Amino acid sequence: MELLFIVLNQKEFLLDILDGFVEKGIKGATVVDSSGMCHLVADHIPFFSHFAEIEGEKNHSKTIFTVVDGEVQRNKAVSIVEEILGSLDKPDSAFIFSVPVNFIKGSSSCHDGSESIR
């Protein structure tokens, strides 16, 4: 299993991505508001304050994270994001990475409870 993180800079596509996940059987994603480092340090480091003013709300993003069963489901999720956003090589689109999950206890509200998550 893997924990998949998607840092989405194009927030307007959030619901499209989540809808795509549901359609393809990827359930239990969590979404949090996030901000880039430049935006956060702008108040403390004068050099960055100029860039924060130029970017405005653009530095705010959404981070989606979900546990997927493995490589196949991870690739399915990445494909959904790429179908909606296009190439992730474009600036200010999204950033995706995953890390191995060695332990899970409990279940999400989307899980029907009929079987344990392993």
From the options 3.30.70.120, 3.40.50.620, 1.10.10.10, 3.30.70.1070, give the CATH code of 2-100: 3.30.70.120
Q: What is the residue extent of each domain of the chain?
A: 2-100
pLDDT over 50 at 7, yes or no: yes
Total-model pTM: 0.75
pLDDT of residue 45: 61
The strand pair at 94-100 and 60-68 is best described as unpaired
The mean pLDDT of the chain is: 81
Q: What is the pLDDT of residues 58-113, one digit of tens each?
A: 558 999 999 999 999 999 999 999 999 999 998 889 999 999 999 988 865 444 44
More reliable by pLDDT, 45 or 78: 78
- pLDDT given for residue 117 in this prediction: 41
Grouping H, G, I as helix, E, B as strand and the rest as coil, residue 13 is helix
Instruction: Give CA–CA dist 37/8, Å, rounded.
Output: 15
